Chains A and B, each alone.
Chain A
Amino acid sequence: MFDAPHSALLCNILRHAINTPDKIALVEGDNRVTYAQLVTNIDQAARLMLASGLGPGDRIVLAALKELPFVYYYFAAHLLGVVNVVVDASSPRERLDYITSVVKPAALFGSGVYHVEGIPCHDFSWQDASEVKPDECTWPHVASTDVADIMFTTGTTGAPKGVCLTHDNIAGSASNTNGFIGTCSDDVEALALPLSHSFGLGRLRCVLSVGATLVLVGNFANLKSFFNILEAWHVTGFGMVPAIWQYIKRLSGRRIARFADQLRYIEMGSAALPVEDKRLLMELFPNTRLCMHYGLTEASRAMFTEFHTHSGNLETVGRPASALVEASVRDDDGNPVDDGVDGEICVRGNMVTGSYFLPEDNEDSFYGDWFRTGDWGHRDPAGDFYLTGRKKELINVGGEKVSPAAIEDAIRSLGITDCACIAIPDPNGVLGEVPKAFLQKSDNQPDIEEIKQQLSRLLPPHEIPVQWEWVDLIPRTNSGKIQRLKLKQ
């Protein structure tokens, strides 16, 4: 059996395999995996990786398919010091090609839907692993400060930014989160969030780290099926983004309240949730810990609030997630400001990234060891933090961060003279924000429907603007920067 002193997460999983070997760790459809089997499978996946020549520092692109082998390979890479670059294989090809060109992976895993010429591609077929002999093998030395995962997030200029997270970072985030929420080994969690996102992947780490059971669910689309799983497995917790809450509310009304007695916790995050929805959740789940995090891929779960214990102040995004996390509001020079004064929210702590993959992305991202979130807000004298705006111009579509620059580039590529995109509230009240496009008028301008149709080949559906407006001129500064605030007015 392996040893992994560099990874507190793997150490925890190993401990569960020794103390509670028959406890179910993972469920996927009809498949059950105990903690003992999980460790054996991680061990085998690591041997497969070693046999294919992978070692510490190598990077692999790992397609975040919600399948058991994904979990084995993900942790096997951690064991070997191989760096996971976790991607959504259904992302636009341009994004995947960009990521691949930047990280130059030694191999792709789970690549049944995604191949790149010249790079070895391995699918997740697990029967191969049974042929690997559990012979003697020397596990490489890995440091806890080495990079474990690179997660690509949306950059303001359109190009994705690779966030480097060390073994200490991801273990720290899991520890902070479990400490706040109170997840324990008796819990059974349903995971319907995507594993390609920091939130979903974080839930996987939290549950396995604490020795609980995780039921992998495709997504939330089929609520009837999701509710059946809540019932069948007597699920005690799950995570969701606010857009999913709007979806649950719209499609199922108050039906979910019948699980109130069994649900010990619900974790929410990735976007703002209206106060009236927080009140409704408190009414439907009077005894459930309703935990909402504030964070970014770069600083996962930086702050937390729990609605019942903070019922008198539902506007706050909370306080630092643990004693190992600090938050501070700073002015444009990086100096702390007084309570009540707006500035940029900055965080530091055990889960905060030390750098982006590309050195140029680090510019303007840190004040010393303080990570600059790009969010504006303030702290009150009691220590609660509040968001009041955003410095970065990303559009938060149901938790998916969308760069207006990426949409504008796509629209301009269709021959539109000039354009600009801003965030507007979703008219359907589901996704939080959605993009609106302003197009500069010109002779022979195409029909909007025609533009939308062509865009559907260039952008994923959630990035296609839902409102369109022709304007005489896109307002720009003397230096050529789009004046989005003017468009918002």
Chain B
Amino acid sequence: MESHIKEIIARVLNVALDRITDDLSSGDIPEWDSVGNLAIISTLEQELEIEFPLEDLFDLTSVKSIVEEVEKITNV
């Protein structure tokens, strides 16, 4: 699941997969701006058929936090 999420993030931001490290945060690279962040959220929701709770969106600030949140939602 973790590698799949990273692949999606890399594809949405149009960057190489090896740049999507655990500690990479929104705003760290130009591609991950506010529009990129929204695109990541909506693409993950669509492709993984999940819905992030609104109250959790504020805390989804890094690759690690996104992976943890998806795993929490999907009970992986």
Residues of chain A whose beta carbon lies under 8 Å from any beta carbon of chain B = 90, 218-225, 243-244, 247, 250-253, 255, 398, 428, 430-431, 456, 461-462
A255 partner, pick from B28, B36, B37, B58, beta carbons under 8 A: B58
Chain B residues 20 to 47 lying within 8 A of chain A, measured CB to CB, are 25-28, 30, 32-39, 42
Would A431 and B61 count as touching, CB distance under 8 A?
A: no
Which of A218, A225, A250, A398 is B57 in contact with, Cβ under 8 Å? A250
Contacts of B38 in A (CB 8 A): 247, 250, 428, 430
Q: A225-B61, A250-B38, A461-B14 are in contact. Are A219 and B54 (CB under 8 A)?
A: no
**Which residue in chain B gives the minimum CB-CB distance to A431?**
B35
Known: A253-B54, A255-B58, A461-B39. A244 touches B27 (CB 8 A): no
Q: Is B55 engaged at the interface, CB distance under 8 Å to the other chain?
A: yes
Task: Please name all residues of chain A whose beta carbon is closer than 8 Å to the beta carbon of B35 when the two chains form the complex.
Answer: 243, 398, 431, 461-462
Instruction: Please tell me which one of the listed residues A221, A224, A252 contacts residue B33 in the complex, with CB atoms under 8 A apart.
Output: A221
Please give me the residue from chain B that is nearest to A456 by CB atom.
Answer: B14
Q: Which residue of B26, B30, B33, B59 has the most chain A CB atoms within 10 A of its CB atom?
A: B33
Query: What CA separation (Å) do A72 and B52 show in the bound complex?
Result: 43
A247-B34 CB under 8 A given contacts A223-B58, A461-B14: yes
Q: How many B residues touch A, CB cutoff 8 Å?
A: 21
Do B58 and A251 have beta carbons less than 8 Å apart? yes
Is there an interface contact between B34 and A252, defined as CB atoms closer than 8 Å?
Answer: no
Which residues of B sit under 8 angstroms from A220, Cβ to Cβ? Answer: 27, 33-34
Query: Is the Cβ of B34 less than 8 Å from the Cβ of A243?
Result: yes
Hey, which chain A residues are within 8 Å of B61, CB to CB? 222-225
Identify A222's interface contact among B27, B42, B57, CB under 8 A. B27
Alpha-carbon gap, A90 to B30, bound state (A)? 8
Q: A90-B30, A456-B14, A461-B14 are in contact. Are A221 and B37 (CB under 8 A)?
A: yes
The complex places the Cα of A247 from the Cα of B34 at a distance, in Å, of: 7
Q: Determine how close the nearest CB of chain A comes to the CB of B29; give it in whole angstroms.
A: 9
Q: Quote the shortest CB–CB distance from A237 to chain B (angstroms).
A: 19
* Alpha-carbon distance A219/B33, docked complex (angstroms): 7
Complex: chain A residue closest to B30, CB-CB? A90
Q: Which 7 A-B pairs have the closest CB atoms?
A: A221-B26, A221-B27, A222-B27, A222-B26, A251-B57, A247-B34, A218-B27
A408 to chain B, nearest CB (A): 22
User: Across the interface, which residues of A come within 8 angstroms of B55, CB to CB?
Assistant: 253
Which residues of B are found within 8 Å of A247, using beta-carbon distances? 34, 37-38
Find A224's partner among B32, B39, B59 (CB 8 Å cutoff): B59
Q: Give Cα A166 to B58, complex, Å.
A: 42
Considering only residues 56-76 of chain B, those with a C-beta below 8 Å from chain A are 57-59, 61
Which residues of chain A come closer than 8 Å to B58, judged between CB atoms? 223-224, 251-253, 255
CA–CA, A251 to B59, complex, Å? 9
Chain A residues with Cβ below 8 Å from B39 are 461
Cα–Cα distance between A61 and B59 once the two chains are bound (Å):
38
A431 to B35, CA, bound (A): 9
CB neighbours of A430 from chain B (8 A):
38
A252 to B57, CA, bound (A): 7
Instruction: Pull 8 A–B residue pairs with CB atoms less than 8 Å apart, ordered by A.
Output: A221-B34, A221-B36, A222-B26, A223-B61, A224-B59, A225-B25, A243-B34, A461-B36
Measured between alpha carbons, how far is A218 from B37 in the docked complex, in Å?
14
Which chain A positions have C-beta within 8 A of B54?
253
- Which residues of chain B come closer than 8 Å to A253, judged between CB atoms? 54-55, 58
Task: Flag if B59 contacts A221 (CB, 8 Å).
Answer: no
* A90 / chain B contacts, CB cutoff of 8 Å: 30
Residue of A nearest to B58 (CB): A252
B33 partner residues in chain A, CB cutoff 8 A: 219-221
Closest to A224 in B: B61
Question: Which A-chain residue is minimally distant from B25 (CB atoms)?
Answer: A222
Query: Closest approach, in angstroms, between the C-beta of B15 and any C-beta of chain A?
Result: 11
Instruction: Name which of A222, A253, A398 has the most chain B CB atoms within 10 A of its CB.
Output: A222
Closest partner residue, chain B, to A255 (CB atom): B58
Q: Binary interface profile of B, 3-29, with partner A (CB < 8 Å = 1, else 0)?
A: 000000000001000000000011110
Complex Cα–Cα for A218 and B27 (A): 6
CB neighbours (8 Å) of A251 from chain B are 37, 57-58
* Alpha-carbon gap, A461 to B36, bound state (A): 9
